[in-house]
Every structure is written in C-alpha cells, then in structure tokens.
C-alpha cells in the first residue's frame, strides 16, 4: 500500500502549431500537456510541488517528455528560443486547482475544530472549579509518581454539602485522557441504572480536593 508520494494531475492542454518536426511522422503540430505535481498521503492531495509538461504529436501521438522539450536539438520551423519561451509561458499559465490543497484544508479544519473545542472545554473547567456542582462526571489527571503510568481516571460528584463532596472514584485508570473519557461515558450510563461496579465505594472528601488534581474534562456538561 502506498502511504504517501507524488501524483500528477493534467491541468491543461494547448495546441502548438509549427512546432518542431515529429521524429516519428514529421508533422509539426503538437499538443502541450501540463501536469501539476502534488504531494499526497493515502491518495489525498495536500499541496502542489511544481509542474512538468510533455509534447504529444497531434498526428501519431508520439510523446516528447519534459526533460527533452527544452533541449531538443532538432530542425524546427520556429526559432528555438521563441518556441522555448512560448512553452515556458504556457506552462505557467494555468491556475493551480484548489483540489491540490484538499488534504491541507482538512488538516486546518480539524485543527480549528479541535482548537475551538479545547478553548470551550477550558472555559467550562474553569467555571466548574469556581463553582462545583453535584451530579457531574469528571475526568481528572492524578499527580505524583505513583500515578505516572496511568494518570487519568474519572470521578462522579454525587453530592456537595458545605465544604464536603461525596465522590465515586473510578476503578479504572488510563494512560490517555481519551480512554478515560470513553470509560467515564460508559460508567455514567451504568451508574444511572444503579450499576456501580465501575466505581470504588463513595468517599467524603474536602471540596478543595480538585485543587490537588488536574481537572481535564466534564463529561455531562
């Protein structure tokens, strides 16, 4: 499977008359095909790399490739320099298709969405820290070397009274926040049905315990 590489897209074709004589049939009319080189990943184009062109005889279809076009040492009906300038100008004429940037556009769009989500989540986290509420499932990152391998877990805030919280801590901890988020969503659905097997026994903790951990996400916003 080809994961990445270069694609060639035909972006324009021009008819060139009174060009050099075809070595196969002697005709002097050719078609100039211009190809855009595009870097791709999984066949999704990301950005253009440059252009190449080829001349194809309009009569017998014989092809003169890019490297040979501007170094042809053949008898020509046009001035060699004039022809070379014309071909170079035509090579630059077509606009680069927007489709050559599809992959880059996808990456930028995903980055923008993720950036917006992260910013919104940070606002919700700060709001919760300022005013904690009950019946919320939280994703927290635990400090200390003993939690360095599996630092992420979930905790359900069952109730808040004065400066105390009744908290159900999850039995499962993870290496990545995304894994804890998946576990928390499943645990929350089961919790609503009275199934607490994914949680430790509830404990009463001081309300400021959130200052000792890193609150990452609120599942049921």
Chain mean pLDDT for the chain: 86
**What pTM did the predictor assign?**
0.62
Structural tokens at position 165? 């919280």
Average pLDDT over residues 144-168: 90
Q: How confident is residue 162, by pLDDT bands cut at 50, 70 and 90?
A: confident
* Range of weakest confidence among 65-69, 124-128, 136-140, 209-213: 65-69
Q: How confident is residue 107, by pLDDT bands cut at 50, 70 and 90?
A: very high
Q: What is the pLDDT of residue 101?
A: 92
Of residues 33 and 85, the one with the higher pLDDT is 33
Number of H helices, E strands in the chain: 4, 9
* Range of weakest confidence among 71-75, 94-98, 163-167: 71-75
* Range of weakest confidence among 64-78, 91-105, 136-150, 157-171: 64-78
Q: How confident is residue 157, by pLDDT bands cut at 50, 70 and 90?
A: very high
Q: What is the pLDDT of residue 138?
A: 94
Give yes or no for residue 161 having a pLDDT over 80.
yes
Q: Express as a percent the part of the chain with pLDDT over 70.
A: 92
Contacts of residue 97, Cβ cutoff 8 Å, sequence gap at least 6: 9, 11, 36
Q: How confident is residue 53, by pLDDT bands cut at 50, 70 and 90?
A: confident
Residue by residue, DSSP assigns 72-109 as --S--SS-HHHHHHHHHHHHH-SPPPGGGGHHHHHHHH
């Amino acid at each position: 499977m080809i994961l990445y590489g270069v694609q060639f897209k035909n972006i324009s074709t021009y008819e060139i008359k009174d060009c050099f004589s075809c070595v196969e049939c002697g005709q002097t009319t050719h078609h100039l095909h211009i190809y855009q080189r595009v870097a791709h990943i999984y066949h999704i184009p990301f950005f253009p790399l440059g252009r190449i062109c080829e001349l194809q005889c309009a009569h017998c279809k014989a092809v003169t490739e890019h490297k040979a076009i501007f170094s042809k040492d053949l008898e020509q009906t046009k001035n060699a320099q004039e022809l070379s300038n014309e071909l170079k100008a035509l090579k630059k004429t077509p606009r680069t298709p927007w489709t050559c940037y599809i992959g880059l556009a996808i990456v930028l769009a995903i980055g923008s969405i993720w950036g917006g989500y992260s910013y919104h989540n940070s606002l919700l986290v700060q709001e919760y820290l300022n005013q904690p509420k009950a019946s919320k499932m939280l994703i927290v990152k635990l400090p200390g070397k003993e939690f360095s391998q599996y630092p992420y877990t979930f905790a359900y805030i069952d109730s808040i009274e004065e400066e105390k919280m009744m908290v159900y801590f999850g039995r499962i901890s993870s290496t990545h926040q995304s894994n804890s988020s998946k576990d928390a969503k499943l645990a929350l659905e089961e919790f609503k049905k009275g199934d607490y097997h994914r949680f430790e026994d509830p404990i009463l903790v001081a309300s400021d315990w959130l200052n000792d951990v890193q609150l990452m996400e609120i599942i049921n916003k």
